[in-house]
Chains A and B, each alone.
Chain A
Amino acid sequence: MAQLFRPSSNTIAKVSIALAVLSAGSLLAFGYLMDRGSWITSVQVAPEQPIMFSHKHHVKDDGIDCRYCHTGVETSNYAGLPPTETCMTCHSQIWNNASATQPIRDSWASGKSIEWTRVHDLPDFVYFNHSIHINKGIGCSTCHGHVDEMPWMYKVNTLNMNWCVNCHRNPAQFIRPRSEVFNVDYQYPANQAELGAQLVKEYHAKSLTDCVTCHR
């Protein structure tokens, strides 16, 4: 009897299976790359700021402590950005004619705040509290990276939920002594597991995995 299928059906079938597998695979790969890639996560991407503020200069070269500007870090959920007044404590006297610092003087004179672009921005449904992390021995550089090496500020960690939960499940991996929290040059010692376990016990650092810890 007559053939139901034309000879080309073979080719069509083979090609479509191959395409389906390929597209499924590439969709997955694409999705993974999108989700983990820097376009979505902004890791290693330094956004443009109204003032080209260099943490490298202020922290490494000048030796200013994080808390001089980010004052809320030990007392509040919000670390805070320095008000223009903090910048003016130095820049009313040094670099006070430079064009780089002109926006600071403009802000001070006009009373209009400087509008920075937020780099470490958690979604609005996440309620993160800085002060408790500092209190329990999580250093600034653990989450924010080596800020003293950054001419322009960028994220080094994705700040995804699974990244946060990784530490929450086992804080001993990342905990450091309270005295070292603001030390940007801190290196985790070889015996971090042991030291970590001991610090977790001493500081009563809990493995908080309840949803309301962050989501309310």
Chain B
Amino acid sequence: MKDIPHSPQSAENGKGGAVSALIPLESLLEPQRKKVDLEALRQKLATGRGPKFWRTLEEAAETEDLKEYIEQEFPGLSGQIPQGVDRRSLLKVMAASLAMAGAAACTKQPKELIVPYVRQPENVIPGVPLFYATAMPVAGYARGLLVESHLNRPTKVEGNPDHPASLGATTIFEQASILNLYDPDRSESVMHEGRMDLWGAFTGALSTEAQELGMRKGEGLAILTGVVTSPTLISQMTALRAQLPQAKWYVHEPSVNPAIASAARKIAGRSAFISYDLSKADVVVSLESDFLNTGPAALAYARQFAKRRGIDNGQTPCRMYAVEATPSVSGSLADHHFPVKSSAVPAIAYQLAKACGVNAPDPGTTAPAWLDAMAQDLKNAKGRCVVLPGEFQPESVHLAAYAINAALGNVGQTVNIYEGVEPENTLSIEELTGDLNNGRVETLVIINQNPVYSAPASLNFEQAIRKARMVVRLGQFYDETSRWSHWHVPEAHYLETWSDSRAFDGTVTIQQPLVEPLYNGKSAHEIFSIMLGKPDQNSHEIVKGYWQSQVKNDFDRVWKTSLHDGWIVGSAVGTLNGRAPALAPLTSQAVSGTEIVFRPDPTIGDGSWANNGWLQECPKPQSKMTWDNVVAVSPKNASKLGVDKGDMLRVTVNGKHVVGPTWVLPGHAEDSFTVYFGYGRTASGRVGTKIGYDAYAIQDSDAPFFAGGSIEKTGEHYRIANIQETQTMAGREPVRAADLAEFREHPDFPTMEEKPLPKDLTLYPDMWHYNDYKWGMAIDLNVCTGCSACIVACQAENNIAVVGKDQVARGRHMHWIRVDRYYSGDLDTPAMYNQPVPCMQCENAPCELVCPVAATVHSNEGLNQMVYNRCVGTRYCSNNCPYKVRRFNFYLYSDWNTPSLYGARNPDVTVRSRGVMEKCSYCVQRIQEQKIKADKEDRRIADGEILTACQQVCPTQAITFGDLNDKNSKVAKLQALQRNYALLDDLDTRPRTKYLGYVRNPNEALRGQRGNTRES
């Protein structure tokens, strides 16, 4: 079928059709591919004739087209290479270009100015970065951070190692938040009905409004925020309610399910947060919970889970079961993965409850075959297991999960209940819409949220908002909601303002700014302060004033220590006792026909990150695609519908529809289709506008996360930019995995069947003696979740450019580390493996030999050095690299024109121009920094002093870097393990980056059941 470059359209139901202008990609790139015959592929995999590991369906099917595609020397470029060039003209052209090559180099170095301070601030040493502790609120809950600042310019975000909600790690969102700070599309001035205005004019208008509201006791005032845990803001709101008792507080957080909080309230009798301790769990059952990547405590759970998953100290690793519709980041590490419809999970939860001895009403459906074995496993691990309810499941699942945990004695062991830190007496977006439509809202103040875009379409918020008399919006971008507001005030980024927030366990972090607001942005505190009648207070005064009232003794010391450490000592909340409530009969059945599942996009979230180039280009963990959202379809449904990757589907729910491209996702539940939020925006900025389809346009507030609907194909095709497309493994096994039993018998299973390479395989003698430092890296595949935080961290640290959808489709993405995702086993419930691939830093590097200008040479410590100023761009090194980790700047991908982006760059790393090859350098700038530091102190570098960007940010600590010559270093110990192996080791490249094989722990009782185990 001919590819027609067609744009996806969102529903024409008043949301404004967002038509994206697709860059036509058809003729140059994608050869006319035959569709993959999924049935034949299924048979092939089932009978074991297929490949053991496969990355894409085309690869597994070994389609003729793919074979031809791969065998071409430059796949996809056949149309571009000039045919019929004879040798004589080629030589002429080459001679001419060689003659020109030298000429450009003869220039005189331009005059450069050197500009010191007038008053140099204390502690600032130009060239030495400073780290400040702060926190980023993610859906309201704090993740403690240490932010690196060069000359008072924040450049990199790291987790705060001592903060309970980050433990030194971050997710992709905290990493990408730096780019948001310098985003050129940020709102720069106060807007009044579409025209720029002054802050003074706004404060005057809002103060007047507040006075009038005061006379009515606040009747008609509606304040809409996201989830808020900030003690200062909550106290300001309390003060405001004291002055204006009729004022109402509404909370709208599109990617958070209110059922989590309401279920916790029913369990604890008051506002609470159910938290888990996975380090004590032998058996983990996830009922559609993406616990390793989503939620306020995700990073803590990831660390606990990774610890419990360890096998090298002889312990039996925990076993995880994942019951989910859409394969998730957490599900990729599951030993058993059961795809079920999202709407069928409540029934399964109840059946599991009954099987575990809870008095649950009969859900009326038959339990699946695997449920008994799973329940038995749980019962065998009483007090040492945990059942995790899905973040997007209704309250019944949360209550059932708690009941199961209580029945199995997990409460107090693997399940704890913290006092809730969210504010009381808040209302929902549905109630706000109702109040707006009934004329009960005069003044609407919106803090940060974007309801015109992100409220469910059934509410028709865009019409409702027009009914308020005065709408004030505090937002970072002049986006969809701001365009419907009377007043728009630019919001200060969290790195620009004082605030505070609480982690999931209540720990308070005082957020301190690293830079003055770039565009005179204001914080929510300042808006509230105006309404409280104090328009001149700034955030610093407000936050400090609040804490002065809370800390009676020794305030100065407490304040300084808290700012330095990143949390207030003793601010964690206490634990509560819970009571498993009686389970009510299920009110709704599983969707019998086609189910549509709504999820926040894995890299764009609820849409507020849409303008962030790093996140748009970050490959989504399961599909590895970028710059679009897709409709995830199971292979069975893809065959039934007759669609393949990229074919457009019309998704209809309750009469509204959107059109989006198919992605065939092995492991997805049958008759269930996932649509992702965050795209289809109309006013997001130069990056995020008019990309993808808007899933909110078909969302119903009654069934926000799964609903019945229908799917049909439109017959059109769309080109998806996918990162993991064009390479095959050619029969090799990059991923080595085994069962626990196999591992116990053969701890060296990854290299068990290999013969040692002959000594004289390479002509080059063994010249290098690494007597000083010997840098190496070990990546543990057992705990990599595929979250991609390493990719964005590397991008932030190394000034890696964003190339855009067109170039990604041509395979020219610039990420120095990529996370490959492999499937294994059967088509419908495959096993999944994630493998981060940075530069291998081969000791016998194929790339070093072929550089004509010696731009990539070996160092005395084992690094494969990339010298940008010598590179002339022959690309022979990338050609020779078997791992394809070298990235070439085909164009000037770095943005040299937008001034606001200059600040985001790390000054210790070169910003590359076009024509230059780049690759992972083991964060050589960090190595050099520590070497110099240690050298000045006349000592060796200690283990753990150098953390590469990817290592530092990994939530499960899958990546370890260090000195292999130090026998006590973590990396030396890991590389000495028997399950250590090198990628493509038969090529004798002797890579310094090695991997630890994956060990599964399947349940013997479930072995042999087709489609239920992760056997290959």
Contacts and interface: CB of A to CB of B under 8 A. Distances in A.
Most chain B C-beta atoms within 10 Å of own C-beta, residue among A47, A121, A204: A121
Interface in B8-46: none
B116 A81 contact: yes
A211 interface: yes
A129 interface: yes
Interface stretch (B279-287, B355-363, B857-865): B857-865
Contacts of B865: 210-212, 215
A117 B867 CA distance: 28
A65 interface: no
A6 interface: no
B858 to A, nearest CB: 9
B118 A47 contact: no
Given A80-B125, A136-B935, 17 more contacts: A76-B126, A83-B119, A84-B118, A84-B119, A85-B117, A108-B118, A112-B118, A114-B116, A116-B115, A124-B910, A210-B860, A210-B861, A211-B865, A212-B865, A212-B867, A215-B865, A215-B867
Contacts of A118: 111-114
A185 B243 CA distance: 75
A108 B115 CA distance: 14
Contacts of A114: 115-116
Interface in A75-118: 75-78, 80-85, 107-108, 111-118
A76 B128 contact: yes
Interface string A53-78: 00000000000000000011001111
B759 interface: no
A34 interface: yes
Classify chain A's interface size. Answer: 35 or more
A170 interface: no
A76 B936 CA distance: 11
B114 A85 contact: no
B425 interface: no
A129 B932 contact: yes
Interface string A3-14: 000000000000
Most chain B C-beta atoms within 10 Å of own C-beta, residue among A34, A47, A84: A84
Interface string A205-216: 000001111011
Interface stretch (B495-503, B531-539, B575-583, B921-929): B921-929
Nearest to B927: A212
Contact of A212 (B106, B111, B117, B859): B859
Most chain A C-beta atoms within 10 Å of own C-beta, residue among B127, B860, B925: B127
A157 interface: no
A157 B392 CA distance: 68
Interface in B887-932: 908-910, 921, 924-925, 928, 932
Given A125-B869, A211-B865, A85 B128 contact: no
21 contacts: A34-B106, A39-B108, A71-B125, A72-B125, A76-B127, A78-B126, A83-B116, A83-B118, A112-B118, A113-B117, A115-B113, A116-B114, A116-B116, A118-B112, A118-B114, A125-B910, A132-B935, A204-B935, A210-B859, A215-B865, A216-B910
B932 A72 contact: no
A108 B119 CA distance: 8
B650 to A, nearest CB: 51
Contacts of A107: 118
A40 interface: yes
A121 B112 contact: yes
Contacts of B111: 47, 117-118
Interface of B: 106, 108-109, 111-120, 125-128, 857, 859-861, 863, 865, 867-870, 908-910, 921, 924-925, 928, 932, 935-936, 938
B108 A40 contact: yes
Nearest to B925: A216
A81 B109 CA distance: 21
A215 B109 contact: no
A39 B107 CA distance: 11
Contact of A76 (B106, B108, B125, B860): B125
B908 to A, nearest CB: 7
Given A78-B126, A123-B109, A117 B921 contact: no
B699 to A, nearest CB: 48
Contacts of B114: 81, 115-118
B246 to A, nearest CB: 48
Contact of B127 (A39, A78, A215): A78
Interface in A183-216: 204, 210-213, 215-216
A173 interface: no
Nearest to A35: B106
A143 B158 CA distance: 38
A216 B128 contact: no
Contact of A135 (B118, B120, B861, B936): B936
A163 interface: no
Contacts of A141: none
B125 A113 contact: no
B920 to A, nearest CB: 12
A142 interface: no
B558 to A, nearest CB: 30
A85 B938 contact: no
Contacts of A82: 116
Contacts of A108: 118
Most chain A C-beta atoms within 10 Å of own C-beta, residue among B111, B116, B863, B868: B116
10 tightest A-B contacts by CB? Answer: A78-B127, A76-B127, A83-B117, A81-B116, A210-B859, A125-B869, A83-B120, A118-B114, A77-B127, A84-B118
Given A76-B128, A78-B127, A117-B111, A215 B868 contact: yes
A30 B389 CA distance: 78
B932 A216 contact: no
Given A210-B861, A211-B865, A85 B119 contact: yes
A75 B125 CA distance: 8
A211 B860 CA distance: 10
Nearest to B912: A125
Interface in A108-159: 108, 111-118, 121, 123-125, 127, 129, 131-132, 135-136
Given A40-B108, A212-B859, A215-B867, A80 B928 contact: no
A131 B112 contact: no
A213 to B, nearest CB: 7
A204 B772 CA distance: 12
B982 to A, nearest CB: 23
A117 B111 CA distance: 7
Given A34-B106, A116-B113, A212 B924 contact: yes
A85 B121 CA distance: 11
Contacts of B120: 83, 85
Contacts of B117: 83-85, 113
A131 B936 CA distance: 8
Nearest to A31: B106
Contacts of B127: 72, 76-78, 80
A129 B125 CA distance: 13
Nearest to B121: A83
Given A204-B938, A211-B859, A117 B116 contact: no
Nearest to A135: B936
A39 to B, nearest CB: 7
Contacts of B861: 210
A40 B110 CA distance: 10
A117 B113 contact: yes
B128 to A, nearest CB: 5
A108 B111 CA distance: 25
Contact of A85 (B118, B867, B909, B936): B118
Contacts of B909: 216
B737 to A, nearest CB: 35
A182 to B, nearest CB: 16
Nearest to A47: B111
Nearest to B798: A216
Interface in A19-48: 34, 39-40, 47
Contacts of B869: 123, 125, 215
Contacts of B936: 131-132, 135
A72 B115 CA distance: 15
